[in-house]
Amino acid sequence: MRKIIMPEWISVGVLSERTGVSVSALHFYERKGLIKSQRNTSNHRQYPKHVIRVVSIIQVAQRTGFSLEDILLELEGLPNRTRVTIDDWEALGARWQNELDKKITQLVELKEMMADCIGCGCLSLERCRLLNPYDELGEKGTGPMLMTK
């Protein structure tokens, strides 16, 4: 009694529907090697259902700033192509986590910079003095000032 569940095959149209990614983009991903398909007798692509999940990962990764090349490297660029171990997979997972953490750090940094800028007062006057610094300045005596350092 086998516990294996064989893949269900879906067409490119269905994959597109399920993921919200256009057919042309899916073809493109395939050309780039991010996903793979088998062909049926009519030369139509057939994807195992699990590819839905791969495409979802691609989408989210992309929206969060990874390039397709990055994603491909993460998914395919394993140290040795002949024998890939569980260790390899774990290393890959670690690298990916690391990248995610870096990106989160950058977001937090951005938040801080903005808070700084808004906090310093120079961003809260009519229009941004940082961007439009040629308005009459110092006409009022009090009020927002430009920063030195």
Partner DNA sequence: GCTTGACCTAAACTTAAGTTGAGGTATCAG
Partner DNA sequence: CTGATACCTCAACTTAAGTTTAGGTCAAGC
Q: Which residues bind DNA (CB under 7 A)?
A: 11-14, 22-25, 27-29, 37, 39, 41-45, 62, 67-69
Distances from the Cα of 32 to the Cα of 25, 67, 99, angstroms: 10, 12, 22
CA distance 24 to 54: 17
104 binds, among a second copy, DNA, none (CB under 5 to 8 A by kind): a second copy
DSSP designation for 140 = S
Q: Beginning with the edge strand found earlier in the chain, give each strand of the sheet holding 45-48 in spatial order.
A: 9-10, 45-48, 38-39
CA distance 98 to 60: 16
Per CB under 8 A, does 103 bind a second copy? yes
Rounded to 10°, the helix 68-76/23-32 angle is 50
Window 51-90: residues binding a second copy (CB under 8 A): 51, 53-54, 56-57, 60-61, 63-65, 75-76, 78, 83-86, 89
Q: What token pair was written down for 60?
A: 């989210």
Per CB under 8 A, does 114 bind a second copy? yes
Pick the closer one to DNA by CB: 9 or 78: 9
How many other CB atoms sit within 10 Å of the CB of residue 14?
14
42 binds, among a second copy, DNA, none (CB under 5 to 8 A by kind): DNA
Pick the closer one to DNA by CB: 13 or 77: 13
Where along the sequence are the contacts to a second copy (CB under 8 A)? Answer: 2-7, 35-36, 38, 48, 50-51, 53-54, 56-57, 60-61, 63-65, 75-76, 78, 83-86, 89, 93, 96-97, 100, 103-104, 106-107, 109-111, 113-114, 117-118, 122-124, 126-134, 137-138, 141-142, 145-148
